[in-house]
Amino acid sequence: MSQDLSRVRNIGISAHIDSGKTTLTERILFYTDKIHAIHEVRGKDGVGAKMDSMELEKERGITIQSAATYCTWKNIDINIIDTPGHVDFTVEVERALRVLDGAVLVLCSVGGVQSQSITVNRQMTRYNVPRIAFINKCDRTGANPDKVSEQLRDKLELNAHMMQIPIGLESELEGAIDLVTMKAVYYDGDNGEIIREDVIPADMIEEAEDKREALLEEISMFSEELMEAVLEGGDVDVQLIYDAVRQGTLSLEFTPVFIGSAYKNNGVQALLDAVEQYLPCPTDVENLALDLKEDEKEFPVSNDPKDPLIMLAFKLEDGRYGQLTYVRTYQGEVRKGETVYNNRTGKKVKIGRLCRMHSDEMQEIDSCGSGDIVALFGIDCASGDTFTAGSISCSMTSMHIPEPVISLAVIPVDNKAQINMSKALNRFTKEDPTFRTYVDHETGETIVSGMGELHLEVYVERMKREYDALVEVGAPQVAYRETISQRAEFNYIHKKQTGGSGQFGRVAGYMEPLEEGDYEFVDKIVGGVIPREFIGSCDKGFKKSLDKGSLCGAAITGIRCVINDGSYHNVDSSDVAFQLASVGAFKEGYLKAKPVIMEPIMKVAVEGPSEFQGAVMGSINQRRGMIIGTSEEGLYTVIEAEVPLSEMFGYSTTLRSLTQGKAEFTMEFATFKPVPKSVGEDLVKAYQDERKNS
Amino acid sequence: MVNNDLIVNNPLRALGLEEKAEKGVQSMGLVMARAGLGKTAILVQFALDCILQGNSVLHVSIGESVEKTRAWYDDILSLLTEGEKIEMIPGIMKNRMIMTFKEATFSKAVLEERFDDLVQQDIFRPECLIVDGYDFSSNDKDSLEDLRKFMDDRGLKMIWFSAVCHRGDDRVSEDGVPAPCHDVASLFETVLLIKPAGDEMQLAILKCDSSAVDPNATLTLDPSTMLVKKS
């Protein structure tokens, strides 16, 4: 890896599922000489694409985990993170975007901007990631890159402009006209590796000139020099155009659009050139760290290899070489054998081995510098931890991690499976912050929770395959929450004086709904009616009570507990006594505070032919869904709705049968809302029955 | 803030249009302005007013996305209520549906089909219709008469349209309604025109059949929020 940061690109490839981004990555690796043969995602040779290294990914033909790789194109070092397309795995996409400097948004030339493209684009915007678009699959019947480019403007509100125009489309796709150099580019050879430049076909000259003029007009906004050159007329220097497009792209005000077909080996090299020309190097973007010594004040990282080290662990993986920690270095340099500090745990960590990963293969290196993405071996940390040189104490900005919305009981079939399952769960929870696990103390079952059915399904499958942990799974359960709807007072005395040392504690105050956050404890005790040393005990007691609400056994959130009075006994008061008094006080107040059950509401987008719009809307309505809006674009319509998660199980089957398999849907967590009365009553009854039977 | 406060504070009441909605008098209204002067903001205020009175509103947006249209509601409501979120006011989400169309795909027939789908399956029963982005230049009087008939047939209380007028086009109807709506002005009971006046924006009432206002009255708009200034 070169030390010159201007020659480094950290990029991600993101798109809607099945837009062909893994195929595109495969071609990139081939053209940059990282691999010497092309294997298709669902190819007949059974090898699978390079980036789909997990057995399960190869079998299903979708990317589950992002794998990191790097390649070199025309003296530029490119680190690529291949990101998953399914919405259940968006935390992977978000983590990738957090550490990347630029991204390629891949779109299907037939499907255009689909629901997941919108999600991914929103995520890119959230992290200020400059992007270029690649309209893939131009060889497919119905390919219409112009329409897709227009959708980029309309639906994603990007100032997107085609940098090329296709020569032929669908089965007649031959190449593209580069609107900057005004040359026709063809990709010859068995694998499109021979790039042939030619003059523009005579029948396309006029179209190309018109489109170039429009492009120049647009991008001249980003460069005064270019604007002057355009106004003067005559030939415009190509470098001026490159610079203006780069300027617009970096400021997120312009999105250059490229076209091609990765599968047909067409247009990939031009995209690589664009990555070099238009996407930022690590010093072009500002990354902020939080200074832990100064109340988390934000400061920009320097990118200077001579400054103290700042490095973020953004991904953990348990591969065949042991535990791998993917890190991005923001400033400073780290060498094999050096000691760094984990700022979360405060522990010193010795860097044993440093590797550059190429999907599931690796290349050992001695050091890595600012801007690098590499993997460390044998480091004990969690995803999102920041490592520093010790002279500074900082953390990279926290990542947005959504709360899990669905859970499953997993029951190991035997003792061996039990041990293996623990190992697997330990690993998965460290790797993926949206995947959580806990033991239900009442049933003794291990519960796993995550972001969707497929998310959990994949982990259960991985437990079996990678850890040989055979488990039985229960039916998926919605992660309900309980909260209170009004203020209520409590005044509870815990008194036990039956032999041995007694227990005494009185806790009084009130609880009220908390608009933002899960729980807040407020101490308004004056005059020492509860001694200082027992205030923490009260907090502990309330926190304990939050684990399980009395309505349906769900966790309690959105509550503020305020204590303002109490009493103690010189001998009998203790930590335990005040904890128990607080548990009692909570119980007393909770029922008076009109508790309600909240359910996760999902933002659902169904995309399908307009003729099925009525049927789809009906199906959403039947599922207690609220339709926010519909947008009709010719033959296709997108229906946006908010639907309770509990009603979404099995929806893919319903949708398939309603629309002859022509519609698809994506969903992501939106919010928690109170359940309707009838549903709430059923949940309470089911919980009471369960408690009676256990 | 409760709904009643919001209704009372909504300055668009100045037009006295709520009486018509309450009595079930059917009417068609039009908000005109040059591009970018805030037609959608005014339409959204009308829609919110209807919703807060308990009516269901179907907001048809031509050439805009659902997301952007939603954002208008969020912004206007937030301004009207000093920061309240739309989810916090009961009934708003339930009584509003947004339907967006590309310019090329919108027609009365498509709207009719979608509308009937909603009603027949008991998904949503619109009582007021907002049509933002209707192309008056390309559609003739017959198309608009069809939409008026559609309102009568479906028992809609009101339809509000927006229309873009252009600086260079001086044509006007007898009531002073500018092109491109000068030929169809007779189909509307109310026509409003947003126009800049110095540092202010004015909402001129070109035509209004409500007894509550003078036909030539003018309301002042706050240019930063597009809300009607309280007098």
Residues of chain A positioned with their CB less than 8 A from the CB of B102: 632-634
Q: What is the pLDDT of residues A263-303, one digit of tens each?
A: 888 888 899 999 999 999 888 888 888 887 777 778 888 88
Q: Please tell me whether residues A530 and A412 are part of one structural domain.
A: no
Mean pLDDT of A139-156: 88
Three-class SS state of A413: coil
Query: A296-300, A439-443, A680-684 — which is least confidently predicted?
Result: A439-443
Torsion of CA B48, B52, B56, B58, to 10 degrees: 0
Are B105 and A634 an interchain contact pair (Cβ–Cβ within 8 Å)? yes
pLDDT interval class at A544 (50, 70, 90): very high
Helices (H), A500-640: 535-545, 575-592, 613-622
Chain B: residue whose CA lies nearest to A614: B117
pTM: 0.63
CA–CA gap between residue A576 and residue A562 (Å, rounded): 19
Q: Using CB atoms and an 8 Å cut-off, which of residues 448-507 of chain A contact chain B?
A: none
Instruction: Flag whether pLDDT at A489 surpasses 90.
Output: yes
Are A74 and A116 in a shared domain? yes
Looking at residues A545-557, what average pLDDT do you find?
90
Same domain, yes or no: A610 and A497: no
Average pLDDT, integer, range A515-536: 89
Helices A651-658 and A613-622 meet at what angle, rounded to 10? Answer: 150
Nearest CA in chain A to B114: A614
User: What pLDDT score does A50 carry?
Assistant: 52
User: Are residues A540 and A559 part of one domain?
Assistant: yes
Q: Is residue A137 part of a domain?
A: yes
Tell me whether residue A134 is in a domain: yes
Which tokens hold the place of A471? 């488990």
Cα separation, A505 vs A612, whole angstroms? 64
pLDDT at residue A400 above 70?
no
The CA distance from A618 to the nearest CA of chain B, in Å, is 6
Distance from CA of A622 to the nearest CA of B (A): 9
Q: Is residue A354 part of a domain?
A: yes
Q: What is the CATH number of the domain that holds A454?
A: 3.30.70.870
With residue A601 as reference, give the H or E element that holds it: strand A595-609
Provide the angle, in degrees to the nearest 10, between the axes of the packed helices A268-278 and A21-31.
80
Subunit contact B70:A628, Cβ cutoff 8 A: yes
Per-residue confidence in pLDDT tens, chain B, 231 aa: 445 555 544 545 666 666 665 665 678 889 999 888 888 988 998 898 888 888 899 999 998 888 889 889 988 888 877 766 666 676 788 899 999 998 888 888 888 888 998 898 888 999 999 999 998 888 788 888 888 888 888 888 889 999 998 888 888 888 788 888 888 888 888 888 888 887 788 888 887 776 556 666 777 777 777 777 755
3-state secondary structure of A255: strand
A614 Cβ under 8 Å from any chain B Cβ: yes
In sequence order, what are the residues at sequence separation of 6 or more whose Cβ sits closer than 8 angstroms to the Cβ of residue A606? Answer: A616, A620, A638, A639, A641, A655, A663, A664, A665
Q: How many CA atoms lie within 13 A of B23 on its CB side?
A: 9
Q: How far is CA B129 from the centre of its chain?
A: 8
Confidence of residue A66 (pLDDT cuts 50, 70, 90): very low
Of B93, B100, B110, the CB nearest to A631: B100
Flag the least confident range among A370-379, A484-493, B120-129.
Answer: A370-379
Q: What is the DSSP string of A210-250?
A: HHHHHHHHHHGGG-HHHHHHHHH-S---HHHHHHHHHHHHH
For position A361, what pLDDT does the model report? 65
Give the lowest-confidence range in A301-310, A394-403, A469-478, B111-120.
Answer: A394-403
> Of A673, A658, A511, whose CA–CA distance to A594 is shortest?
A511
Contacts of A631 in chain B (CB under 8 A): 65-66, 99-101
Task: Examine the domain organization and report whether A533 and A655 are in the same domain.
Answer: no
pLDDT higher at A232 or A39 = A232
Using alpha carbons, list the distances in angstroms from residue A398 to A314, A401, B21.
Answer: 11, 9, 50
pLDDT above 70 coverage of chain A, percent = 89
Distances (CA, A) of A116 to A400, A446, A507, A664: 18, 32, 51, 11
Give the closest-approach CA distance of A121 to chain B in angstroms. Answer: 14
**Any A CB within 8 A of B13 CB:** no
Torsion sign across C-alpha atoms A213, A218, A221, A226: negative
Q: What is the pLDDT of residue A598?
A: 92
Token pair 């100064």 is found at A294
Q: Is A125 near chain B, with CB under 8 Å?
A: no
CB–CB contact B102 A632 (8 Å): yes
Any chain B CB within 8 A of the CB of A154?
yes
Range of the domain at A641: 600-678
Q: Do B65 and A633 touch (CB under 8 A)?
A: no
- pLDDT for position A63: 46
Does A633 reach chain B within 8 Å, measured CB to CB? Answer: yes
Q: How far apart are CA A511 and CA A131, in angstroms?
A: 48
Task: Give the model's pLDDT for residue B1.
Answer: 42
A-B interface: how many C-beta pairs under 8 angstroms? 60
pLDDT, averaged across chain A: 83
Q: What is the pLDDT of residues A572-591, one digit of tens each?
A: 888 999 999 999 999 999 99
- Does A614 contact B121 at a Cβ distance shorter than 8 Å? yes
Lowest mean pLDDT among A19-23, A195-199, A473-477: A19-23
Same domain, A263 and A359: no
CB contact (8 A) between residue A628 and residue B94? no
**Residues A171 and A314 both lie in one domain:** no
One-letter amino acid for residue A651 of the chain: Y
Domain-located, residue A605: yes
Tokens at A468, concatenated: 């040989």
Residue A221 maps to a domain: yes
Establish if A591 touches chain B: CB-CB under 8 angstroms.
Answer: no
Closest to A631 (Cβ–Cβ): which among B66, B118, B123? B66
Tokens of A268: 């990939």
Q: What's the whole-number mean pLDDT along residues A148-173?
A: 88
- Reply yes or no on whether the pLDDT at A309 is more than 50: yes
Q: Residue holding tokens 């907090």? A: A539
Whether B121 and chain A come into contact, CB under 8 Å, resolves to yes
- Among residues A396, A421, A455, the one where a domain terminates is A396
Q: How far is B14 from chain A (nearest CA, A)?
A: 30
Q: How many domains does chain A have?
A: 5
Of A284, A305, A335, which closes a domain?
Answer: A284
Going by pLDDT thresholds of 50, 70 and 90, the confidence category of residue A665 is confident
The pLDDT of residue A497:
76
A634 interfacial to chain B (CB closer than 8 Å): yes
Q: Last residue of a domain, which of A239, A268, A284?
A: A284
Q: B 154-213 residues with CB below 8 A of A? A: none
Which of B58, B67, B70, B95 is the best mutation test for A, with the most CBs of A within 10 A?
B67
Reported as a single tens digit per residue, the pLDDT across B208-220 is 776 556 666 777 7
What is the pLDDT averaged over residues A584-609?
A: 91
Element (H, E) at B8: helix B3-9
Set of chain B residues whose Cβ sits within 8 Å of the Cβ of A614: 117, 121
Domain assignment of residue A694, yes or no: no
**Does one domain contain both A139 and A207?**
yes
Give the integer Cα–Cα distance in Å for A254 and A80.
Answer: 22
d(CA A167, nearest CA chain B) in Å: 27
- Give contacts of B114 with chain A, Cβ < 8 Å: 613, 630, 632
Assess: ipTM above 0.95.
Answer: no
Contacts of the segment B222-227: beta carbons below 8 A, 24+ positions apart: B223/B196, B223/B199, B225/B41, B225/B79, B226/B38, B226/B41, B226/B42, B226/B76, B226/B201, B227/B11, B227/B41, B227/B45, B227/B76, B227/B79, B227/B80
Burial class of residue A572 (count of CB atoms within 10 Å of its CB; 0-12, 13-18, 19+): middle
What's the pLDDT tens digit per position in A1-49? Answer: 445 778 888 888 877 766 677 788 888 888 887 776 666 555 555 555 5
Question: Which pLDDT band, with edges at 50, 70 and 90, does A611 fall under?
Answer: confident
pLDDT of residue B86: 65
Residue at A180 is within a domain: yes
3-class secondary structure, A329: strand
A137 plus A274 within the same structural domain: yes
Do A117 and A230 lie in one domain? The reply is yes
| A48, burial (CB in 10 Å: exposed 0-12, middle 13-18, buried 19+) | buried
Q: Closest to A617 (Cβ–Cβ): which among B65, B66, B121?
A: B121
Within-domain flag for A360: yes
- Please give the structure tokens belonging to residue B231: 């007098």
Amino acid, single-letter form, for residue A66: S
Q: Which residues pair with A490 in a beta bridge?
A: A509
| Stretch 654-673 of chain A: residues touching chain B, C-beta under 8 Å | 671
Closest by Cα among A610, A608, A621, A611 to A655: A608
- Min Cα distance B168 → chain A (Å) is 25
- Are residues B105 and A621, on separate chains, in Cβ contact within 8 Å? no
Distance between CA atoms of residues A157 and A254, nearest Å: 10
Average confidence (pLDDT) over A327-337:
88
Superfamily of domain B3-221: P-loop containing nucleotide triphosphate hydrolases (3.40.50.300)
Q: CB-based contacts of B124: which residues, under 8 Å, 6+ apart?
A: A627, B56, B58, B97, B118
Same domain, A50 and A189: yes
Q: How crowded is residue A486: how many other Cβ atoms within 10 Å of its Cβ? A: 11
Domain identity same for A118 and A229: yes
Q: Which pLDDT band, with edges at 50, 70 and 90, does A81 fall under? A: confident
